Amino acid sequence: MDNLISNQILELINSSDEPLETKEIEEKIKDKIKHETVTRTKIFYRLNNLRGEGLIKGKFIGSGKGVWVWWGSKLFDKEIKQ
């Protein structure tokens, strides 16, 4: 189950053309994996592990509780056409 969550997160983030908030990722992962043990805490833990491995990037924004946004490590490496 653990690898399934991480794999689904990687697939979702790398296929997105824009950064995603933790809540968006949570909703989409829970829709894909219909299992009661998939929690926000587990998803956030996997996101931080993937960030630590350099597979994705993430940033805390806002004050107080704030929000984390996540994106694929190559999202902003794309060449901008003028």
Residue pLDDT, tens place only, 3-35: 899 999 999 999 998 999 999 999 999 999 888
Report residue 56's pLDDT band, with 50, 70 and 90 as the boundaries: very high
Average pLDDT over residues 62-81: 76
CA angle 69, 75, 78 (to 5 degrees): 150
- Work out the average pLDDT over 66-76: 84
- pTM for this predicted structure: 0.83
Q: Which domains does the chain show, CATH number per domain?
A: 2-73 (1.10.10.10)
The pLDDT score that the predictor gives to residue 37 is: 82
Residue with tokens 């690898």: 3
d(CA 34, CA 50): 22
Q: Measured between alpha carbons, how far is 27 from 24 in angstroms, rounded to an integer?
A: 5
